[in-house]
Structure 1
């Protein structure tokens, strides 16, 4: 990269640090607390391969997702247009709706309520849940209503307090809890890395990375960091710092679940951590854990509201950013008063079905600059196959056992580990690349509105 881009980044070290803290806060929600602890308790002596699998999809992929958005210089739609016009609109809309207003956003309020109110006051009426959710979303709207202030509000205030509490709880656990060397549960007995890899899906952070990238880009642009290699470098540093923090916290939370006595008897990670906090800190532990959960969920809620509002405002400029924030908060409030088990039954499989295309998109975005060639068929064919395979996997899960969809895809390697889409997608990408090498296209497919000449220049800068 040029010296000018390096100088530009050096002038924004403070902004990069605050942005990394903001990203951590947005990524670190309810699932990010619960899943590592449950993994640690269930993996037993297979803890390290399981946690490394979890980190692959829960840490590395989210960082790559944010950087991929920075490479486009715009938003998720500029990236997904590489798969064609239909994919370019349908995929990001499904991502923002499934991880936003219809699942992850209402879950932030519901989980906070269960941890803070139900656990401490033994109250679980519809009225108390509705009142709590209303207050929760009023605060979230106040923090996200101005997109220019999201970075500072999360990065300077919420994240530091959240990290202090998490570090205190993790460090004290090594003095208060035992060793926890137990036999792995059935799920983690045979292939702990693959199981941890798939469990990392449940954090939804790879999809969230594609969604949150727009906020990071907007924040840096407001701070004066212009598009190009300097912007990519600044966003990349922030993403890596945030995800290193995530990885360390995941290992620490996993260690708590791994070391707590009788950890495999718990079916709920929130209960496991709440009781672990009480063992570690005494009566104050429940309050501390409730505050951790509130800060974690609020940061994620603000990130989801802000990123979804920015995306839909760009997609439909006639509706203002603030109107989208209010609309999504109202939807999130309404869903949060319902049974999340019912919502999860619908959105859970959908989120899993979005992951193959998201991973394919992220990796192809990084491979393209290395090849110094604009890829068209590689993107379209690989993304089409990844999406088709994900739909077949979804239909196979939803139908009774031994169905036609299961038979049509069960031959693929890693199918039992829910990663059967990988080999077909690799083959499709190879076929597409051969076509890109042997076919000359008269008209370049636009990448975020670039001409072919501009795209080639950008890829040479990034390579």
Structure 2
């Protein structure tokens, strides 16, 4: 693969991840962190960029995304991918992207209710671009991503030359532990689970360039992950800087979208609002194309459904569900995302610590992977209920006292590592007994 194609796939990967949510998340965090925004953003990068990049690297070493769950029972394997791709697809992330694109890209300039028409047109455009997966790099990596980066650069350079404020005093949580809270906020972007879905697209794109050998796929995936990491880190740093200097123009902002809107208007007036709308529409479009591609590839490879049929059904469902409204979509689907994310990360950890280094037989590894998924699902459910405020007060108090990392919404992490440790201890004991008996 030549350098130009490698760079284009890296740019495409960056664009696939860069949805509107990634743009609006860091500004609010940085505004709240105030003078400690840079420390907070470093913590944020470790989980918001580090986890997805690590996931891509592991999937590249496997040379196929579906190998991540190959050692699970078949029903669990199919259920995991169906839930992940459906939730990241028409059940949640795709409709959210369409709705956010309308709210930030169209609604500021249109007083009526045009969501139904917009969602139909936006999904039709997505479908048209997604139906040519061989052209994905050309569309996104070589055209749309450079345009998106250029538009972001205009806004950021203007802010550097003419900042509209100074960092204010940090709120209490960012005074006490800015890096730790940045880590938590980065984890809550849930991009690690998006990386699992985008693995289908990236590996397929590498293969489309004639790369089939396992080591070569891993080699190029690592370099693509590096390109993604650099670009996304720069983007988050830029959005963080905007947020940190926005306390004067958006003192009562409740979300990052409001901060970006006021900042763009403050720098360029109406032209700034148009620029921000273009950035949002472009970011949402690249994400919807990538997720539609990932879903369609999965259904084609697993169930034999044609790519065209899958993509069409996904886009029709997305257009319909988008009209239920963003709040309803989030309320219904967010619990599944919050539970699936720790399961996905746990599988990645298990693949690295068990499958690649274990000398035990396939059955033992399969049992360990199944146990890891069950443990992650159990404690991930507790974390999800805690985040959503649905956990009974008595149980919440008990978990706060006895469950490590509960307050950080990662109570699943330690039990997963304990499960892996037990596997390794058991495996070592069995191997030792076999050696002694022989």
| TM-score in terms of structure 2 length | 0.91
> Within 1, Cα distance between the matches of 2:73 and 2:180?
31
Aligned to 2:369: 379
Does 2:285 align with 1:326? Answer: no
Aligned to 2:233: 247
Q: CA shift at 1:252, angstroms?
A: 0.5
Aligned to 1:108: 97
Q: Give 1:414's match in structure 2, choosing from 405, 409, 415.
A: 405
Q: How does 1:193-208 map to 2 (within 5 A)?
A: 193-208=179-194
> Within 1, Cα distance between the matches of 2:8 and 2:396?
47
Q: Give 1:117's match in structure 2, choosing from 106, 111, 121.
A: 106
CA contact 1:378–1:431 (8 Å) conserved in 2? no
CA contact 2:62–2:214 (8 Å) conserved in 1? no
> Within 1, Cα distance between the matches of 2:175 and 2:56?
33
Does 2:57 align with 1:49? Answer: no
SS in structure 2 opposite 1:101? coil
CA contact 2:380–2:410 (8 Å) conserved in 1? no
Aligned to 2:348: 362
Aligned length: 425
Q: CA shift at 1:330, angstroms?
A: 0.8
Aligned to 2:393: 402
Q: CA shift at 1:428, angstroms?
A: 1.2
Aligned to 2:28: 38
> Within 1, Cα distance between the matches of 2:411 and 2:176?
17
In structure 2, relative to structure 1, the CA distance for the partners of 1:291 and 1:20 (3 Å cut) is: same
In structure 2, relative to structure 1, the CA distance for the partners of 1:381 and 1:437 (3 Å cut) is: farther
Q: How does 1:194-343 map to 2 (within 5 A)?
A: 194-262=180-248, 263-317=250-304, 319-343=305-329
Name the stretch that deviates more: 343-352 or 156-165: 343-352
Does 2:417 align with 1:426? Answer: yes
Show CA shifts across 1:145-175 (max 9, x none).
Answer: 1222212211011000000111121121012
> Within 1, Cα distance between the matches of 2:323 and 2:359?
50
In structure 2, relative to structure 1, the CA distance for the partners of 1:378 and 1:108 (3 Å cut) is: same
> Within 2, Cα distance between the matches of 1:211 and 1:339?
24
Give the RMSD, CA atoms, in angstroms.
2.1
CA contact 2:92–2:329 (8 Å) conserved in 1? yes
SS in structure 2 opposite 1:16? helix
Show CA shifts across 1:300-338 (max 9, x none).
Answer: 000010001101221211x21111101111111111111
> Within 1, Cα distance between the matches of 2:173 and 2:116?
36
CA contact 1:201–1:352 (8 Å) conserved in 2? no
Does 2:374 align with 1:388? Answer: no
Q: Give 2:11's match in structure 1, choosing from 5, 14, 21.
A: 21
CA contact 2:70–2:77 (8 Å) conserved in 1? yes
Q: Gapped runs of 5+ residues in structure 2?
A: 432-438
CA contact 2:88–2:194 (8 Å) conserved in 1? yes
Q: CA shift at 1:400, angstroms?
A: 5.3
Q: CA shift at 1:94, angstroms?
A: 1.4
Aligned to 1:73: 63
SS in structure 1 opposite 2:71? helix
Aligned to 1:456: none
Show CA shifts across 1:371-427 (max 9, x none).
Answer: 364644543333321121112333454535414476357512221111222222111
Aligned to 1:444: none
SS in structure 2 opposite 1:224? coil
Q: How does 1:158-169 map to 2 (within 5 A)?
A: 158-169=144-155
In structure 2, relative to structure 1, the CA distance for the partners of 1:83 and 1:52 (3 Å cut) is: farther
SS in structure 1 opposite 2:196? helix
| TM-score in terms of structure 1 length | 0.86
Aligned to 1:188: 174
> Within 1, Cα distance between the matches of 2:72 and 2:400?
23
Aligned to 1:92: 81
Q: CA shift at 1:340, angstroms?
A: 1.2
